Each structure stands twice: as structure tokens, then as C-alpha cells.
Chains A and B, each alone.
Chain A
Amino acid sequence: MPQLTDEKIIWMEQKASEIRQSVIEMLVEAGSGHTAGPLGMADIFTVLYFHILKHDPTNPMWEDRDRLILSNGHICPVLYATMAHSGYFKLDELKTLRKFGSRLQGHPHREFLPFVETSSGPLGLGLSQTIGMCLADKMDNGKYSGKQFYCLMSDGELQEGNIWEAMMLAAKEKLQNLTVIIDRNSIQIEGFTEDIMPLEPLKEKWESFNWDVRTIDGHNFQEIVSAVGEAQAVFTKPSIIIANTIPGKGVSFMERNYKWHGKPPTKEEGEKALKELKGN
């Protein structure tokens, strides 16, 4: 990973804002979809695609690329927007989100959009698949293949039992090139995670499962980069970064409001949101 300079940070802040604007525009056009998660994760996606990931948008099937698996597939608007902004496909295509025949399905489908590593949507499946990829890679290339495997998950998703099975396996196999990033925005469909099904003490749970755990501000590029760098330097355990985020980040009337989890902005709301985002 290259050094994170001040210039790069400023550049990425602008890029993240552009991605947020694309998210708002595509959701207004689609008329359905999820808003809070994509806005909250825009900074992490920006720094992953523009600084951390070893990948090549002009050669998306490059064998040695890092793998990024989005387990909470419902936040795909930010995945699609980031991929478009980084050159996987034209920005124009973003307005086809959720439409019949679109490559940009409501939840990512690997057969429609070959640039995604797997289909997702039903929660709790991504970590197992990422582990499978790590294990296959280890069989072929030994412990130090040079690839990094990132699994992005939501906090609400951790309520699925399958994930705990996966957590145990990753630790058993000491998958040191596996890094999980949790979107710890504390919301889910019906309300706040700690009211619906409390996850705390979350850090301690992962530690007791023999993972290396870090907690960061998910909107601070330097913290994100440092945490990933530190995780990569741990060779005895898989790593998890619990990224505290603000759902709806960037749009004042959406921030911290769980009701924006699963609905798109109306045209008017979208215009208000874009005004705010462009103002920054």
C-alpha cells in the first residue's frame, strides 16, 4: 500500500462525495433501494478502490487481484457507484440500477455483472465464501500468495448464525490474509441493533473467537488505511476492523435515522441531498 498523503486525502474526500452523489442519483432514478448503508460506507469504498485494493479496472479478471466480497449486498449502490467511478464501467450505466435487463441488479448477481466476486443479498453468506476463496488460494499458493481477501459485512448481519460458523473456521485455519470490515452503523430494518438483537460486546466476541480486532472511525481515511496496514502485518490470525460509521453520512436529514435503511429518496429529497453533498 502506498503512503497516504494529504493531497491524496483531499482527492479522496472529493471522490467520496462524488460517489455519494451518484448513490443519491441512482436511487432516485431506481425508485427503490437502500440509502443509509451506501452513504455510510462511501468513505471505506473510496479508500479501498482508490488506495488499498490491488486491482485493475481495465483487467477485472486479473488472477492476482485482491478479492473484495460484499456480504451485505443490499448496499450495492455504493459498490456499483465506486466501481463505475474507478473505471469498471461507464457512469452512465448507474441509472439502470434495479431495472429489468440491467447488469446492476437490486442485489449483486455475479452472472449479470461479472466484476463482482459473488452474488449476495441474503445476509450471512459472504464470510464463508471469502474463507473458501482463501483456502483455495492457500492450497495453490501456500500461506503467502500476496493476495488479500476483504469481506465487507454489516453489523445487523452478524445476527445470522452462519457467520459464527465461519468465524470459527477462519480462526482454525489462521487465515492471515483475510480482513473483515464491519459497517458498524448500529441500525437495521426495524431500528437500532442494540434494541433489536444486541451485538455488544462485539470486539470481545471476535477476540474470543481468536481474531485480531481493531475499532476505527469509518469516515477517517487515515484510520482506515492504518488499520488495514496493521491487519496485514498480523500473520497468526484473521483480522477484523469494526468501522464505526454514521448511517446516511453526508446528508443531514438522513444521518443516524434508521428509517433510511431501506428506502430511496424522493426526487425532492434527492435534490436537497445533492445540494448538501455538492456544497462540501
Chain B
Amino acid sequence: MLNPNVKLNKKMFNESIEQIAIRRGFGEGLVIAGDEDKNVVGLCADLNESTKMNLFAEKYPERFVQIGVAEQNLAAVASGMAAMGKVPFISSYAMFSPGRNWEQIRTTVAYNNQPVKIIGSHAGVSVGPDGGTHQAIEDIAIMRVIPNMIVLSPCDSIEAKKATIAAAKIDKPVYIRLMREKTPVITTEETPFEIGKAEIYFAPPMEPQVGIVATGALVHKAILVAQKFAEKGVSVKVLNISSIRPLDFEAIISLAKESGAIVSVEEHQVVGGLGSAIAEVLVQNHPVPMELIGVHDQFGQSGTPNELIEHYNMGVSHIEKAVERVMKRKN
């Protein structure tokens, strides 16, 4: 019961589903954006290869600036370039950008309303062995509170490519969060992507009893959970939110009305991120019981991505239990 209208990868439930890093999608998307618009420029804080900006830097060296390990400078320099008509993409790890340079972004990019695109790679705990200092699990919270800022969280490498191309075209500040690890490619080139629009990815024919609202690489797990429930005769719908700001209020409220219960899923603190954004919408329009999957008030640590996802209660079994809990709360 994958939604046929959004043309997802038919191998969704195969073990052999393609696995490509979300950050790679950005790298490819930036080259395409650069091909299409000569004003697209790239700036990086000494992390070309791991943020995949190296692809752009190699093709367009005259349009690339190496800033070195100086993320505050990274953001403000980009703002200056935008003031002269460029479309700057800045990349680093999310913990450093927007982590370290949040105020530079707020003042020189958002307050100035300059179309700088901030790429925060290595978000979530699935960064893995580097450990907690490198695992950004607060970035959605700190970026979605800034006026003028668009916040995108692609679910796979193909969506990341589309998000990058869309970001280049829109004359506004944009933040895109990327992941380090290879994760399932769940969409296809034909899957729609639009800033501000959320899409139903999984929809059984019966009225849903629970709606899962998910973002990023965990959307795949949400779909696996929905499939498990479908096999038991319980209808669970999955909504992919790749545009956290602006948020598709209609889609969220509609899902809450249909299902009467919501589970949010994100590789991020449960405070301040997607779950909070959903709760804000529903509490003001159509309150329903909610369960929030994410990190519960802890920092990350070293481990394999899978170990960490499980340890921080964001795995398939945890999402399943959340669905069961929220169903009970409906009465």
C-alpha cells in the first residue's frame, strides 16, 4: 500500500534496496544547480569531501571558496556574496553550521533576507563513531525558529538532490540537513518534491487508525512499521515531511482528522524539532493524542549508526510501540 501516486521505489521492502548517502544527493544536486545558474557558488569550511561539495568545487573551481575551519566567517562571507547577486551554498557539519555560526546566520543571512543556502551535513546520531560532539540533534529546532528561513530535511539522496536544486531556485535563505550514512533510496526521480508540501507515502485502503509523520532517513523505518501493521489488519498512514518550514499544515491536520492519533519520527531531540512543530499545528487546529519518536534529552555517543538508532529508541520496534501506545490513548 505504497501510495502509487508518488512513485516510490518498488524495492521498498527488499533487503537489497539501494543504499546511498543523503549527502551525496546534495553533492550531485549542487553540480546540477551550478550548471543551470552561473551565479551559484560554493563555500566550505574544510569539509569538501565529506559534505560532497567537492563535486561542485572540482567542476567549478573558480566559483568555489575554501574558507578553512572558520564557520562564522563561512556564513557571513556568503551573505556578502549574496548581496552582490550570487546564490551561495555553504557546507559543513550541522553541529558547526548552524551550530557554531547560528547568530551569523540569523543576522547576516535571515535578517538581511539574503538567499544563502546552509547545508548542515552529519545530522542525527547516525553520524556514528565520531561521537556526540559531531552528532547534531538540535539543528531543526534552532533553524525553524528563524524568520525567513526555509528548513528542508530530505528522506533520501534523490530527495536531497531535488531539495538542493529547489533551494537554488528560491530567492530565500534555506537550511538543508543531510546525513552521513548510506540509507535506503525510497523515492524515484518521478516522486514529487515541493517546498511546503508533504506527501503521503504509505496508505492502506481502510481509514487509518494512526498517522505517522516522519522526516529524513527514518521515513523508511516508518514505512516498514506501517507495512507490519497492515499485515495485521491495522491501518497506519505515513506522511513524509521533507519541508519542515514552511510546514504543510493542511496535510498534517487532514491526517490527524482522518486517524485521530499521530506519531512523529525524527533523528533529533523530541524537543523543538518536527514533533514539536506538528504538535504546535495540531494543538491549535485539531488536537489528537501524539507520541514523539526522537532523542529524549541526551547527547549522542560513539557507535555504529544502527546501534545508536536502536539505543536512542528510534528503531522499527520503538516506532511500533509508539503506534500501539497512541492507539490506546485514543480512548
Bin chain A's interface residue count: 20 to 34
A166 to B77, CA, bound (A): 8
A128 touches B77 (CB 8 A): yes
A110 touches B73 (CB 8 A): no
- Distance in angstroms from B104 CB to nearest chain A CB is 6
Partner of B86, one of A110, A136, A166: A136
Contacts of B73 in A (CB 8 A): 128, 162, 165-166, 169
| Interface of chain A residues 108 through 123 with chain B (CB within 8 A) | 109-111, 117-119, 121-122
B230 within 8 A of A: no
A133 touches B70 (CB 8 A): no
Contacts between the two chains (Cβ within 8 Å), count? 92
A133 to B77, CA, bound (A): 8
B108 touches A129 (CB 8 A): yes
Contacts of B78 in A (CB 8 A): 132
A161 touches B80 (CB 8 A): no
A246 within 8 A of B: no
| Interface of chain B residues 53 through 72 with chain A (CB within 8 A) | 62-63, 65, 67-68, 70, 72
A125 touches B107 (CB 8 A): yes
A130 within 8 A of B: yes
> Which of B63, B73, B83 lies at the interface centre, i.e. has the most chain A CB atoms within 10 A of its CB?
B73
Contacts of A137 in B (CB 8 A): 84
- Distance in angstroms from A192 CB to nearest chain B CB is 27
A131 and B68 in contact, given A118-B112, A169-B73 (Cβ under 8 angstroms): no
Contacts of B81 in A (CB 8 A): 132-133, 135-136
| Interface of chain A residues 89 through 104 with chain B (CB within 8 A) | none
B65 touches A162 (CB 8 A): no
A69 to B213, CA, bound (A): 45
Contacts of A134 in B (CB 8 A): 80
> Which of B75, B103, B108 lies at the interface centre, i.e. has the most chain A CB atoms within 10 A of its CB?
B108
Partner of B112, one of A110, A135, A140: A110
A15 to B318, CA, bound (A): 72
Contacts of A136 in B (CB 8 A): 41, 80-81, 83-86
A141 to B266, CA, bound (A): 45
Contacts of B301 in A (CB 8 A): none
A139 within 8 A of B: yes
A139 touches B85 (CB 8 A): no
A168 within 8 A of B: yes
| Chain B binding surface SS class | helix
A132 touches B70 (CB 8 A): no
B97 within 8 A of A: no
A129 and B111 in contact, given A162-B73, A165-B70, A168-B70 (Cβ under 8 angstroms): no
Interface string of B83-121 (1 = CB under 8 A from A): 111101000000000000001100110011100000000
Nearest-neighbor residue (CB-CB) of A160 within chain B: B72
Contacts of A165 in B (CB 8 A): 67-68, 70, 72-73
A125 touches B67 (CB 8 A): no
Nearest-neighbor residue (CB-CB) of A129 within chain B: B80
B187 within 8 A of A: no
- Distance in angstroms from B111 CB to nearest chain A CB is 6
- Distance in angstroms from A179 CB to nearest chain B CB is 15
Contacts of A168 in B (CB 8 A): 68, 70
| Interface of chain A residues 122 through 172 with chain B (CB within 8 A) | 122, 125, 128-137, 139-140, 161-162, 165-166, 168-169
Contacts of B79 in A (CB 8 A): 118, 128-129, 132
A117 to B80, CA, bound (A): 9
- Distance in angstroms from B149 CB to nearest chain A CB is 15
Contacts of B86 in A (CB 8 A): 136, 139
A135 to B75, CA, bound (A): 14
- Distance in angstroms from B43 CB to nearest chain A CB is 9
Partner of A131, one of B63, B72, B77, B112: B77
- Distance in angstroms from A14 CB to nearest chain B CB is 34
| Interface of chain B residues 217 through 233 with chain A (CB within 8 A) | none
Could you list 8 further interchain pairs (A-B, Cβ under 8 angstroms) beyond the known A135-B81, A136-B83, A169-B67? A117-B83, A118-B80, A121-B107, A136-B41, A139-B41, A162-B73, A165-B68, A166-B77
16 contacts between A and B (CB under 8 A): A111-B113, A118-B80, A118-B83, A119-B112, A122-B103, A125-B107, A128-B76, A128-B104, A129-B76, A132-B77, A133-B81, A133-B83, A136-B83, A162-B73, A166-B73, A169-B67
